Amino acid sequence: MCGGVRYELSAPPESAIYCHCTRCQRRSGGSAAVSARVARGSFAITRGAELVSYYRPESGYEKAFCSECGSGLWSRNPDDHEEIGIRMGTFDDDPGVRPSVRQFVAYAVPWEPIPDDGLPRHPERRPD
């Protein structure tokens, strides 16, 4: 949001998903989060690396955010930092992918029904 952290991708994102888990709901303040998986080795921070902070939950992926404005940026596998999911709202331009699946729909909020968009739905984590 503040523009302090900038990144670039050297390859287009591979896929995108909606996640309806309660952690994504609380982190985003919405009914779901939408993220794009990036190709290994294609992600680089170009400015503001010193502003990036991580929330490291007891289990699950680390959540990167800007320490200046609080914006959610990406998540990464704590055991493999090359496995990254970029928050789609942080792209400056069309990333070229669209969400193709919904995961953790068993935890979807009751106040916003999941739209009938034809995407596959998984009650828990989507199969890889």
Looking at the structure, give the CATH architecture of the domain made up of residues 6-107. Answer: Beta Complex (2.170)
Q: Nearest-CA neighbor of 114 among 27, 28, 31? A: 31
Cα–Cα distances (Å) from 60 to 10, 37, 81, 104, in that order, read 26, 15, 13, 13
Tell me the mean pLDDT in the region 116-120: 96
pLDDT at 34 (0 to 100): 97
Share of the chain above pLDDT 90, in %: 92
pLDDT digits (tens, 9 = 90+) for 84-114: 999 999 999 999 999 999 999 999 999 999 9
Percent with pLDDT over 70 in the chain: 100
- Contact between residue 101 and residue 126 where contact means Cβ atoms under 8 Å apart: yes
Q: Tell me what the mean pLDDT of segment 17-29 comes to.
A: 93
Mean pLDDT of the chain: 95
Domain segments of the chain as ranges = 6-107
- Alpha-carbon distance 89 to 22, whole Å? 19
Identify the pLDDT of residue 127.
Answer: 85
The answer to whether 100 and 16 have CB atoms below 8 angstroms apart is yes
Q: State residue 65's pLDDT score.
A: 96
Q: pLDDT-derived band of residue 16, with 50, 70 and 90 as boundaries?
A: very high
pLDDT, average across residues 16-35: 94
Residue 74, beta-bridge partner list: 64, 86
For the chain, the first-to-last Cα distance in angstroms comes to 31
Quote the tokens at residue 46. Answer: 């170009």
Burial of 11 (0-12, 13-18, 19+ CB in 10 A): exposed
pLDDT at 128: 76
